[in-house]
Structure 1
Amino acid sequence: MRQTHLKRIGLIGLLALVGIGLWQGRSLDPQQLMQWIDGLGPLAWLAFIVLYAVATVAFLPGSLLTLAGGALFGPVLGTFVNLTGATLGAVLAFLAARYLGADWVRARAGARLGAILDGVEAEGWRFVAFVRLTPLFPFNLLNYALGLTRISLLPYLLATWICMLPGAIAYTWLGYVGREAAAGGEDLIRKGLLAMGLLVAVAFLPRLVKRWKEGQGPHWSIDDLHRRREEGETMTLLDVRDAKDFNGKLGHIPGSLNIPLPELAARLEELRADGHALAVVCNTDKRSAKAVQQLQRAGLDNAILVIGGVQAWKGRGWPLEQR
């Protein structure tokens, strides 16, 4: 009861903060902000990180802050403070959503929303990396939305920090060049062209991510595998872990065929004669990804990577076998 009361108080406080942020964000003056931060002296960079984190939680426009960070601290320190502040804010929003709303949303999610959440969770850090590299997704809202899933905090943090780096560099540099132009700095043409190049590179990231996703080849989520098995679809579930892992404490998915990855080349004809879809798993999906590539190079186009592997199956609470 007390925990529910605390959650309500926290939610009211968060909504008030977001409301203030949305209201004040319209009248935010970057010049006044920069003057105030600049007047803090040696602690300016630390204050800016805290400000950026709070602004992220409160839905203040992050692009203006990133440009201001570049103008205030230059391309190197500016990238650091911008990226650190944005990541810290993203983690705070993620944790707030998880603590205040994840259970409530899960309990009331319909079949469609539940399937979406399950699909996002199956992709895990890959989904976080994709949306961070693709600037089409609203950053502030996305932080809260991801908190409603069961994606682990550490993969979320690392994927956020790493995959926001290209955009942080580009916009920080743009803010730096803007201040140099206002001050009449030298070599502005070269710096301006570099800024444009960085922005173009960020704009092309979604296409590169799409090609990377396509390069993974056909794949199923663990939920796809479970659903297809429940529907009675004919397939061969191939587990490419070694025998020790296959029969070990974690166990294996019932009905799996165990062919360790080092033995795969010697048993290609056996799999070729099978003719069914080859759903390939391992503990997660590292060895299985290598196995799928090997099978496809050998002409077995029916090989399908199962994202998340046996660990994801276990995470859903579905049965496993040990021998």
Structure 2
Amino acid sequence: MPKMLSRSTFPRLALLVAVAAAVALVTLNRDKLDPALLDAWLSGFGIWAPVVYVGLYALGTVVFAPGSLFALAGGAMFGPVLGTFLNLLGATIGASIAFLIARYLAGDWVARKAGGRLKRMIAGVENEGWRFVAFVRLVPVFPFNLSNYAFGLTRIPLVSYVVTSFITMTPGALAYTWLGFAGREALEGNGSAIRYGLLALGLLAAIALLPRIIKRMRGGDIAWIDAPTTLARLAESAPPTILDVRGADEFTGPHGHIPGALNIPLEELEARIDAVAAKLKGEVITVCRTERRSAGAARLLQDVGFADVKVLKCGMVDWNARGLATSLGEQVA
């Protein structure tokens, strides 16, 4: 006979089913979500409207409702200052609830299903802690609503997660709130709305440039490794993965390649990273003819969550100059 659900298991299962049903409902009705309808509905709550709004924003975050819908509505309804605070509060509470659901209710199941980019995100938090949370919040590499659940699978303390999220979500919340406020003012004929709108668009442009700025700032953080050290590491019991990012013709060309290397051309790496993530375990050393392309590959791997990436100094040119062995490697299909 099948085992009966225990008293402790049934409430957890019921909550998970309810969340899944709510997510499905929101997903199927995304095109019907309207800030104007939200504004009209909340106006009936009087002085309690801000409290109801925060609760609704938090719930929307848990069930994957578009965050921009609430952020714009918050600016239109409550103004740039109070609206920004309420948007941050609602987003942070919702992100915290999703975090706790993943950690205490669905952690084992989600962890088993996690793959590709999600696994790398978890690994990034395990290695970098709150710094990786800040990076994900500032640079939207991962979807916001999904990342809230993914963070719950890591060992990061709840307090660190909440404080870091609140602080690093501020620029985006401020920009969207001011944009919503500017739209409302424009509809009411306020000439200063143009100034508000330009300010919000400037903030959004700055946020859009953050990935490039961070990449440049992280340029000095690339770890380098020379050929003799690489050769010694390859002889250890847990050798690094050698990722050769040259084209296939160069990989089998006159410079040869390091024994056991995987070959993924740099221009294909980003598109294929999920498919080959299982092969890139532990320490990864990127290689090209010199080091320009391999440095770019290292930055790309770091940006998607690989924590232990190094670049072979002077690439295959130096490897060949030292007379080190080359042989056929494994090309990733």
- State the secondary structure of the residue aligned to 1:40: helix
The aligned residue for residue 48 of structure 2 is: 43
Paired with 1:129 and 1:156, the residues of 2 have a C-alpha distance of 9
Paired with 1:40 and 1:113, the residues of 2 have a C-alpha distance of 40
Q: Which one of 175, 183, 187 corresponds to residue 178 of structure 1? A: 183
For residues 224-263 of structure 1, the aligned pairs below 5 Å read 231=238
The aligned residue for residue 172 of structure 2 is: 167
The aligned residue for residue 138 of structure 2 is: 133
Whether the aligned pair in 1 keeps the contact of 2:118 and 2:150 (CA below 8 Å) is no
Q: 1:109 to 1:170 in 2, by over 3 A?
A: closer
> What are the Cα deviations for residues 289-311 of structure 1, in whole angstroms up to 9, with x where unaligned?
xxxxxxxxxxxxxxxxxx8xxxx
Q: 1:229 to 1:153 in 2, by over 3 A?
A: farther
- State the secondary structure of the residue aligned to 1:39: helix
- 1:4 lines up with 2:9 in the alignment: yes
Q: 1:39 to 1:131 in 2, by over 3 A?
A: same
Q: 1:228 to 1:26 in 2, by over 3 A?
A: farther
How many angstroms does 1:84 deviate by? Answer: 0.5
The aligned residue for residue 72 of structure 1 is: 77
- In structure 2, stretches of 5+ residues that fail to align are 1-5, 225-233, 241-306, 308-333
Q: Which one of 14, 19, 22 corresponds to residue 14 of structure 1? A: 19
Whether the aligned pair in 1 keeps the contact of 2:62 and 2:145 (CA below 8 Å) is yes
- 1:143 lines up with 2:156 in the alignment: no
The aligned residue for residue 270 of structure 1 is: none
- State the secondary structure of the residue aligned to 1:149: coil
The aligned residue for residue 100 of structure 1 is: 105
The aligned residue for residue 94 of structure 2 is: 89
Whether the aligned pair in 2 keeps the contact of 1:133 and 1:209 (CA below 8 Å) is no
Q: 1:128 to 1:119 in 2, by over 3 A?
A: closer
Q: 1:101 to 1:59 in 2, by over 3 A?
A: same
In the superposition, the TM-score normalised over structure 1's length comes to 0.64
- 1:192 lines up with 2:197 in the alignment: yes
- In structure 1, stretches of 5+ residues that fail to align are 220-226, 234-306, 308-323
Give 2:149's aligned amino acid. Y
More divergent stretch after superposition (4-13 vs 98-107): 98-107
Q: How many residues align?
A: 230
How many angstroms does 1:125 deviate by? Answer: 1.1
Paired with 1:197 and 1:113, the residues of 2 have a C-alpha distance of 31
Give 1:17's aligned amino acid. A
How many angstroms does 1:194 deviate by? Answer: 1.5
Whether the aligned pair in 2 keeps the contact of 1:102 and 1:149 (CA below 8 Å) is no
Q: 1:228 to 1:123 in 2, by over 3 A?
A: farther
> What are the Cα deviations for residues 255-275 of structure 1, in whole angstroms up to 9, with x where unaligned?
xxxxxxxxxxxxxxxxxxxxx
How many angstroms does 1:31 deviate by? Answer: 0.7
The aligned residue for residue 317 of structure 1 is: none
The aligned residue for residue 60 of structure 1 is: 65
More divergent stretch after superposition (118-127 vs 166-175): 118-127
Q: Which one of 198, 211, 219 corresponds to residue 214 of structure 1? A: 219
How many angstroms does 1:167 deviate by? Answer: 0.4
In the superposition, the TM-score normalised over structure 2's length comes to 0.62
- State the secondary structure of the residue aligned to 2:8: helix
Q: 1:230 to 1:9 in 2, by over 3 A?
A: farther
- State the secondary structure of the residue aligned to 1:127: helix
How many angstroms does 1:91 deviate by? Answer: 0.5
